[in-house]
Structure 1
């Protein structure tokens, strides 16, 4: 079992995305690290959010490139924090929004660093030269791990995981099939197809919600004509997944597995996923359900509605597997082994 040497100070530099930074903190503290989390894109006040929209988002929507200024603003407080705390190790999660100045500063400090990609390289802003300069890279993408290894870089495939530290309570009556997350085209198609097939559905997130506040936040973008709720916290999301008949996990041009892959079974939900290679992590028809096309998705939902015993067995087996193999603490231990290698 990998643990961090006593007293090791770890700085985790991460996006604030859905509060996962707190999950990372708790997981690495559980394996013995003294953790400082630095969120590089967190806006703590309404004034900061308004300024960001007015000075960066709006000009970019008008075709004005503000990427350099955005990177500078995000990186300056991170650099200041690193200079102050002088950690023994650094874990940068994603990090492609940070400036060249940040990476140069980190290199000059000569602190052992792992950069953890939980997105595919093709969707990130790193240049090949920047990636080649990284000391160690962890990635959730099997394909990217193989490519980086081919380039001669030090890389490991480390998947996402389930946050066992966030409390939740069951929400719902196990009647709706739900989706929680961004409304990408394939996800809209799946949920719309279920809805048109008279399957009770509900999607959650700012790009699904019909609330005027969410329309304002997303610059008035169109919404699918299906039942929808607003953004929810991860704690509430966990409760919704637990309380749904099933939760859909539809990947968008990805070969890595999203957080939902581990969260839905982790909370005891029924996981409906569109990837047959899930068999590398969970046993189909025993721990999760795989759908191969939209008609199969509808069939799987009807199967669950007919056989509640199947649903109960999936819930129990999926949760058991997740807690045994796929938690954030498991991933923290993998990362500690990588630091030590």
Structure 2
């Protein structure tokens, strides 16, 4: 039976800042034009889930709840009149800090660090939470799929209950503080340990892995493999184990590094000379598509489980994935035939050097990994799996 699926997302403020800075006229464009530009960026999972659900004959839309520019345009286009006056509460400490970091005007997005999504300073009289609630009222979904559990909390979701059917949360990032999960009928995660966590809280929970959208290959095109070894991901004080790995690799391989957090590294870190700045969305995919070998490393919340987006993004773009060995990796890819796994920094460097000198074997494994991802780890399959869970 066809369902109406309402998907809630939020974006990193640093990404929003770059998007609207690169496209200075975007803030005054229509909702559809802003959504198209945001999806064309290929940041995060863009519109992969909604397209996947529509492929299975469901009606699905996605909203970006902290994009004040886009959300405000939606309100205006749908006939909402801004309140004449707004009572403004004192901004939180987080919001005051965010105001110093984000650009002025409509593109500035303020999300309070509490479990409730709200704008510390309402945009033209509406808060971000109010705008999201009105969208749910207008769409009347059978399923609300909240992919921003840490930003959009149960207290806001409970206000949506009269206007929607089931509420499903999807999370594989650090669990939020002070979240009751009272609004949820189901939780899904790509992390088996998170599935167990929610089940122990008597919340129905299911495993649903991440994936890759083959449309990325069409949008990016075929690229020359001009980067011998890459790493794309965050490096900061919050990624201590990863930093140790990358520092070893910079001393022992010719790895090039992209991602956020470089400004948090010590001035003496050997990563800095190899760090080439941030890479979001299409820029990231171009790097992976240009890489012969790319290194992956999971953060602590994954425990001993393979989970992250880079597994699928790297293989989907046809790079040889060298990833940290996890207990469930063989459920996703066949080590040695579709990807390569390491258990230490030393072994990682040895594998990189080996495959740099064995092009035919590297290409064979990379191509097998890409086939596995395109055939089994795509979002049409992921959303088919979710549709069965939601029914």
User: What TM-score results when the alignment is normalised by the length of structure 2?
Assistant: 0.72
Q: Which residue of 2 aligns with 1:26?
A: 51
User: What pairs with 1:1-341 in structure 2 (closer than 5 Å)?
Assistant: 5-6=1-2, 8-16=3-11, 18-42=43-67, 44=69, 55-58=95-98, 67-68=113-114, 71-73=117-119, 74-121=128-175, 124-127=176-179, 130-166=180-216, 167-171=219-223, 173-183=225-235, 184-197=239-252, 199-208=253-262, 224-255=271-302, 257-277=307-327, 278-340=329-391
CA distance in 2, matches of 1:154, 1:191: 38
Once the two structures are overlaid, the 10-residue window that deviates more, 307-316 or 19-28, is 19-28
Question: Displacement of 1:202 after TM fit?
Answer: 1.2
Change (3 A) 1:172 1:206: farther
Contact 1:207 1:221 in 2 (8 A): no
Question: Displacement of 1:336 after TM fit?
Answer: 0.3
Change (3 A) 1:261 1:254: farther
Question: Displacement of 1:229 after TM fit?
Answer: 2.2
Equivalenced residues, count: 313
CA distance in 2, matches of 1:68, 1:294: 38
User: What TM-score results when the alignment is normalised by the length of structure 1?
Assistant: 0.82
Question: Displacement of 1:330 after TM fit?
Answer: 1.3
Deviation by residue 1:149-205 (Cα, 9 ceiling, x = unmatched) = 2333211011111122222235554443111121132232222211111x2121112
Contact 1:286 1:317 in 2 (8 A): yes
Deviation by residue 1:233-283 (Cα, 9 ceiling, x = unmatched) = 322322321321211111110325111111111121110111233112110
CA distance in 2, matches of 1:151, 1:55: 32
Change (3 A) 1:69 1:331: closer
Deviation by residue 1:52-97 (Cα, 9 ceiling, x = unmatched) = 9994435899xxx953597322422211211122222211113221
Change (3 A) 1:339 1:27: same
- SS of equivalent to 2:210: coil
Change (3 A) 1:99 1:54: closer
CA distance in 1, matches of 2:154, 2:160: 10
Unpaired runs of at least 5, structure 2: 13-42, 71-90, 102-110, 120-127
Change (3 A) 1:288 1:82: same
Unpaired runs of at least 5, structure 1: 46-50, 209-214
Change (3 A) 1:26 1:67: same
CA distance in 2, matches of 1:68, 1:103: 14
CA distance in 2, matches of 1:329, 1:312: 26
Contact 2:141 2:164 in 1 (8 A): no
Once the two structures are overlaid, the 10-residue window that deviates more, 261-270 or 80-89, is 80-89
Alpha-carbon RMSD across the aligned residues, in angstroms, is 3.0
